[in-house]
Structure 1
Amino acid sequence: MMADAKAKTPAKPAASATPVKKMGKPRNYDLGNGVYRFSRTRMFHKKALWKFLDKKTPKTVKPKKPLTIEKKINGEKNGGTRIVRLLKRRANYPTVDPVTVHHAKKAFREHTRYTRPSLVPGTVLILLAGRHKGKRVVLLKVLKSGLLLVTGPFLINACPMRRVSQNYVIATSTRLDMKNVQIPEKLDDAYFKRKREKRAKKEEGDIFTKKAEEYKASDERKADQKVVDKMVIGAIKAHPDKKMLFTYLSAMFGLRSSQYPHRMNF
């Protein structure tokens, strides 16, 4: 037998008892590029907001709950009434104050350090603060305190080894291969800590006179700088674009007009 040629029409769903309300379009809507159909002044009159200006609603005063209640007391010599508190006081009080345990806070040296994933040893950084701001330097390693150990090298842009916070550097996409560069273990936070001599007792004369202290690098610091510079320059020479890297590290970073750092790829 042949099948019926008429297509079967699907059954209509039963009409719901509660009709669904459609959300209408608001009177004032965005026409594009932040331009609205009506201005604020026009909407002020359309909504009749002038009716509600300086309209003060009366303050509703809530009755206070009574703390005491007056009770009648039998007996001729008891006064007849007595005021009783609704909330009774505690029957017993502790004789000694409870000891509050204050948990010991971690010292700053024990805090966990977080370093940005872009700050890998060998990355070329741009300094944003300090006396060497604007210079491009090479990241040697991340110290235990969370500070970055960087160097110019000194022979290229006169930036010696120094500690820098990661908040004041921009990490670029340029990186050096540091597998042959072995940073001495003594280059830690204690190595770069400034040594201050004890103040001598004031001699006779003006008590407010101050001697200007000038920092001079020690012979040990100069020798270590030469050793590290030699290894870093060797890593630069091993790079395929060594000529461009030498000029790149020696040039200062700066922004001209209509140059926006948040739109740049460093």
Structure 2
Amino acid sequence: MSTPSAKAVPTGGKAKTTTTTTTVVKTTTTKTTQPASKLGAGAKVTKARTTASGKKVINSHSNRALNNNGLMRFSRGRMFHRRALYRINKWKGDQAKLQGDKTKKTAGSIQKKKRSPALKKKPVGGDRNGKERFVRTKRLPRFYPTEERPKKFSVKRKRFGDHPRRFRSTVAPGTVVILVAGKHAGKRAVVVKHLSSGLLLVTGPHKLNGVPLRRVNQIYVIGTSTKLDLSSVKVDNLDDKFFKRVRQAKKNAEKDIFDSKKEKTQLSDERRQAQRTVDSGILSAIKANADSRILRKYLKSRFQLWNGVLPHKLRF
């Protein structure tokens, strides 16, 4: 690129013109990168680990993030494949160890059982019979069933009687509860025992409010904070078999059904004696309480709700 420039000469002299040129040259620089193998002696080069056979060792946990955007080195499907290869190689290693020492068994090992041969040699008497003969080691059945019977499949289910029983912490033995269903709904009772069937054994006691020894489901009671000490009351003989009903004998069908009257079941002497024993123990526990007078009135009274009383805000 050239630019002309003129110099003016003062008047009275000769005019002279001179031309100067300037040249601009652009230079470009290129950088070349050398591979890691051609670096200096101080550079470290990581080599992939290989097995004795020359295969690359697969590390199933080497899935690190490439950048801060959450981009991982391997995808989810690729990592699934690598983990599978790792487990297969581990299983093959266990099998190789198992072949070296057949006395030990590793987890997931497959050992082929030695099968007995289907035929075996059996010596046969007589000169013209060939001296030996091949026979089956396991004989075939002589008779076959004419029809197939249905197979019985075993169901691995627990019966309801084998299920574990769980009770609420608010209905422990000695707790005063409120019955909300049944013949004695609204009355208060004392929990005597937890039965193996999952039911609660409760009583009023019968002398105070008329609630006898009964089995009640725990979903039909409201637990209160009032408790009694029933450690001295013995109720070991009271279980579900004790309250089992006795079926009456069938009557003659030829008799007129309108003449027969429904007979009430009478309580046995054993049941009456158990009621007296439990009631005496509970009454002695009430008497030993500091507020025994108020507690007797509390058990005799019924649970009621009035207008303006919110059940969900009550504290029992």
What's the TM-score bracket when you normalise by the shorter of the two chains?
0.5 to 0.7
Residue of structure 1 equivalent to 2:271: 221
Q: 2:187 aligns with which of 130, 135, 139?
A: 135
The secondary structure found in structure 2 opposite 1:118 is: helix
1:112-141 Cα distance to aligned partner (Å, 9 max, x none): 111111111110000011111111101001
Q: What amino acid is aligned across from residue 275 of structure 2 in structure 1? A: Q
Runs of 4+ in 1 over 3 A off after TM superposition: 98-102, 206-211
Q: 1:247 aligns with which of 281, 297, 314?
A: 297
Q: What amino acid is aligned across from residue 222 of structure 2 in structure 1? A: I
Q: 1:125 aligns with which of 169, 177, 182?
A: 177
Q: How does 1:166-205 map to 2 (within 5 A)?
A: 166-183=218-235, 185-204=236-255
Residue of structure 2 equivalent to 1:42: none
Against the structure 1 CA distance between its residues 218 and 101, is the aligned structure 2 distance closer, same or farther, given a 3 Å change threshold? closer
Q: Kindly tell me the number of residue pairs found equivalent between the two proteins.
A: 169
Q: What amino acid is aligned across from residue 163 of structure 1 in structure 2? A: R
Residue of structure 2 equivalent to 1:256: 306
Q: What amino acid is aligned across from residue 280 of structure 2 in structure 1? A: K
Instruction: State how far apart, in whole Å, the 2-side matches of 1:189 and 1:210 are.
Output: 31
Q: What amino acid is aligned across from residue 187 of structure 2 in structure 1? A: K
Structure 1 residue runs without a partner (length 5+): 1-95
Between 149-158 and 217-226, the greater mean CA deviation after superposition: 217-226
Against the structure 1 CA distance between its residues 159 and 207, is the aligned structure 2 distance closer, same or farther, given a 3 Å change threshold? closer
| Higher share in strand | 1
Deviation at residue 257 of structure 1 after TM alignment = 1.4
Against the structure 1 CA distance between its residues 214 and 207, is the aligned structure 2 distance closer, same or farther, given a 3 Å change threshold? closer
Q: 1:160 aligns with which of 212, 221, 224?
A: 212
More relative contact order in 1 or in 2 (CA 8 Å, sep 6+)?
1
Q: What amino acid is aligned across from residue 196 of structure 1 in structure 2? A: R
Deviation at residue 198 of structure 1 after TM alignment = 2.8
- TM-score, normalised to structure 2, is 0.50
The secondary structure found in structure 1 opposite 2:201 is: strand
Q: What amino acid is aligned across from residue 201 of structure 2 in structure 1? A: L
- TM-score, normalised to structure 1, is 0.59
Instruction: State how far apart, in whole Å, the 2-side matches of 1:108 and 1:115 are.
Output: 16
1:17-66 Cα distance to aligned partner (Å, 9 max, x none): xxxxxxxxxxxxxxxxxxxxxxxxxxxxxxxxxxxxxxxxxxxxxxxxxx
Pairwise CA RMSD: 2.2
Against the structure 1 CA distance between its residues 100 and 200, is the aligned structure 2 distance closer, same or farther, given a 3 Å change threshold? closer
Deviation at residue 238 of structure 1 after TM alignment = 0.8
Residue of structure 1 equivalent to 2:95: none
What percentage of residue pairs aligned between the two structures are identical?
Answer: 46
